[in-house]
């Protein structure tokens, strides 16, 4: 878990100089990176960049210089992850850039002053530190009238679980997540995510059509492309917020149910299981599930829950009691072999749980790996009841953005 305090400090000549030096380095990295892409059609690696540009750059301490490369490659990376939409880090004319120190360069002295290491021969940077904890990273950036300091603490995962239950989590389209704990089940409704995604797709199609009618490269064209990127980014942010909120909810509910270990379906295969429709953006789709799984994973780990990915092939088709396979139809899964009946959405989660239990050969107090013959319906979680109907919410958001 990260805590990030933020406060202002007065500027000094040294900070001023170093921030300019950091900007210099950024500009240099940025220029060379894109030049290599343009002229040689080659993406310069981070290692190469660090070797060629970060050593002995001006008065920057070497670690801070390395962090500028880190920052640049993070920006490039998130642009790639985002389907290369929005702006790549192409601005190579910064005047100031953030200075970043990682833990190696940070010391909290006994008198409550934080010391940031600098290049040999330079004075260290000293900051009155308001908290007892030594931060993992410190960032200092130029702001109006001075500098802003941001620090991150890396607190260790706390063991908050007192439980001994194992849960299986299945990610899917109808329900973003279905969870089975061995005794009860709950689902997280995916309606709002679907609505946002539909809206994003229709907006993209609408704006693309408009853009196509303009002459490529004209000022109207450029303006429309910018508008499009901005609006799509805005929805991306909303989706990320939603995923954070829902993943937090999943972990809360796991803790309430005294779950200490989870198996989560590996979403790499999810593409095969979802009907996209003709205009769906597949990459966004996969991205959202991957992101959601990742969020549950790290939030659960921070809460002291053991997490493992489980191969989810056929988990939606298999009878959790006897292993017989068939494609389910309707809301209920009914096994023709052993008579098992259960709510369809929970069957996947139950199978993932079973595989996980088998994989770990888990020995504990939990001996409910066998399922009751009839599985209860899951309780649903839904955040915005008014958004439960995706078609209605779509119209609503459309109007809002029109």
Per the CB < 8 A criterion, the answer to whether 380 and 187 are in contact is yes
190: its two tokens:
């995916």
Question: Which one of the spans 63-71, 141-149, 308-316, 328-336 is the region binding Zn ion (CB under 5 A)?
Answer: 328-336
Choosing from 319, 349, 350, 371, the residue that interacts with Zn ion (CB under 5 A) is 319
> In this chain, which stretch among 56-64, 291-299, 321-329, 383-391 interacts with Zn ion, using CB under 5 A?
321-329
Closer residue to Zn ion (CB): 248 or 370: 370
Q: Which listed range, 51-59, 92-100, 337-345, 364-372, lies at the site for Zn ion (CB under 5 A)?
A: 337-345
* Residue 88 CB, nearest approach to Zn ion (Å): 53
34 vs 397: CA distance, rounded Å: 38
Residue 262 interacts with Zn ion (CB under 5 A): yes or no: no
Three-state helix/strand/coil letters over 90-104: CCCCCCCCCEEECHH
Least distance (Å) between residue 334 CB and Zn ion: 9
Instruction: From 7-15, 60-68, 305-313, 331-339, give the range in contact with Zn ion by CB under 5 A.
Output: 331-339
Measured from the CB atom, the residue of 316 and 321 that comes closer to Zn ion is 321
Nearer to Zn ion, 264 or 350 (CB): 350
Q: Which of 1, 158, 205, 338 binds Zn ion (CB under 5 A)?
A: 338
C-alpha dihedral over 320, 321, 326, 332, to 10 degrees? -70
Pick the piece of the chain touching Zn ion (CB under 5 A) from 243-251, 262-270, 323-331, 341-349.
323-331
Residue from 3, 113, 158, 322 touching Zn ion (CB under 5 A): that is 322
Tell me the helix, strand and coil percentages in the chain, rounded to 5. Answer: 45, 20, 35
Nearer CB in complex with Zn ion: 205/322: 322
Looking up tokens 């500009």, which residue turns up?
27
CB of 343 to Zn ion, least distance (A): 15
**What phi-psi label fits residue 189: left (phi over 0), alpha (psi between -120 and 50 degrees) or beta?**
beta
**Applying CB under 5 A, which part among 122-130, 228-236, 294-302, 322-330 lies near Zn ion?**
322-330
Verify binding: residue 335, Zn ion, rule CB under 5 A: yes
Long-range CB contacts for residues 27-30, cutoff 8 Å, separation at least 24:
27/92, 27/93, 27/94, 28/53, 28/57, 29/53, 29/68, 29/69, 29/72, 30/72, 30/89, 30/90, 30/91, 30/92
CB of 333 to Zn ion, least distance (A): 9
Q: What angle do CA 259, 265, 271 make, to 5 degrees?
A: 150
Question: Can residue 73 be called a binding residue for Zn ion (CB under 5 A)?
Answer: no
Hey, how many other C-beta atoms are within 10 angstroms of the C-beta on 272? 7
The CB-of-50 to Zn ion minimum distance in angstroms stands at: 57
Tell me which of 80, 324, 384, 395 binds Zn ion, using CB under 5 A.
Answer: 324
Closer CB to Zn ion, 3 or 322, in the complex: 322
Total residues at interface with Zn ion (CB under 5 A): 8
In Å, what is the CA distance from 102 to each residue of 58, 99, 146, 151, 222? 19, 10, 22, 10, 39
- Please state the closest distance from residue 357 (CB atom) to Zn ion, in A: 18
374 binds Zn ion, rule: CB under 5 A? no
Residues 6+ apart with CB under 8 A from 351: 168, 170, 314, 315, 316, 318, 320
Question: In 165-281, which residue ranges form alpha helices assigned H by DSSP?
Answer: 191-213, 219-256
9 three-state secondary structure: strand
Using CB under 5 A as the binding rule, whether residue 395 contacts Zn ion is answered as no
340 binds Zn ion (CB under 5 A): yes
> Of the two residues 269 and 373, which places its CB atom closer to Zn ion in the complex?
373
Residues 6+ apart with CB under 8 A from 325: 314, 317, 318, 319
Q: Copy the structure tokens of residue 88.
A: 């790549």
Q: Which is nearer to Zn ion, 158 or 322 (CB)?
A: 322
Residues 6+ apart with CB under 8 A from 402: none
Is 212 or 337 the residue whose CB approaches Zn ion more closely? 337
Q: Which stretch binds Zn ion (CB under 5 A): 122-130, 172-180, 249-257, 332-340?
A: 332-340
For position 337 contacting Zn ion by CB under 5 A, the verdict is yes
Query: Which strand (E) or helix (H) includes residue 151?
Result: strand 146-154
Q: Which residues bind Zn ion (CB under 5 A)?
A: 319, 321-322, 324, 335, 337-338, 340
């Amino acid at each position: 878990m990260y805590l990030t305090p933020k406060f202002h400090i007065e500027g000094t000549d040294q900070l001023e100089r170093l921030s300019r030096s950091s900007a210099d380095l950024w500009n240099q990295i940025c220029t060379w990176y894109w030049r290599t892409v343009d002229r040689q059609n080659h993406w310069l690696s981070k290692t190469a960049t660090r070797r060629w540009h970060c050593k002995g750059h001006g008065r920057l301490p070497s670690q801070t210089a390395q962090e500028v490369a880190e920052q640049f490659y993070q920006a490039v990376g998130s642009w790639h992850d985002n389907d290369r939409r929005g702006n790549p880090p192409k601005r190579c004319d910064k005047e100031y850039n953030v200075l970043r120190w990682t833990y190696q360069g940070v010391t909290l002295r006994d008198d409550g002053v934080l010391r940031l290491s600098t290049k040999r021969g330079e004075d260290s940077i000293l900051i009155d530190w308001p908290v007892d904890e030594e931060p993992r990273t410190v960032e200092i950036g130029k702001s109006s009238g001075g500098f802003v300091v941001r620090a991150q603490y890396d607190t260790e995962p706390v063991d908050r679980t007192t439980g001994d239950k194992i849960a299986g989590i299945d990610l899917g389209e109808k329900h973003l997540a279905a969870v089975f704990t061995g005794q009860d089940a709950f689902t997280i409704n995916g309606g709002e995510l679907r609505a946002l995604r539909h809206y994003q797709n229709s907006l993209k199609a609408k704006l693309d059509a408009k853009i196509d009618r303009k002459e490529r490269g004209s000022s109207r064209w450029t303006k429309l492309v910018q508008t499009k990127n901005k609006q799509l980014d805005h929805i991306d942010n909303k989706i990320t917020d939603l995923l954070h909120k829902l993943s937090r909810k999943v972990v809360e509910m796991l803790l309430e149910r005294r779950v200490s270990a989870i198996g989560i379906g590996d979403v790499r295969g999810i593409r095969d299981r979802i009907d996209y429709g003709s205009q769906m953006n597949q990459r966004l789709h996969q991205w959202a599930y991957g992101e959601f799984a990742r969020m549950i994973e790290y939030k659960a780990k921070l809460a002291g829950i053991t997490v493992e990915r489980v191969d989810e092939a056929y988990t939606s088709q298999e009878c959790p009691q006897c292993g017989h396979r068939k494609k389910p139809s309707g809301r209920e899964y009914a096994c023709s072999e052993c008579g098992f009946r259960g709510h369809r959405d929970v069957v996947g989660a139950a199978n993932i749980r079973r595989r996980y239990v088998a994989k770990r050969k888990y020995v504990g107090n939990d001996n409910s790996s066998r399922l009751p013959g009839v599985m209860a319906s899951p309780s649903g979680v839904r955040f915005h009841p008014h958004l439960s109907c995706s078609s209605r919410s779509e119209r609503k958001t459309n109007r809002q953005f029109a």
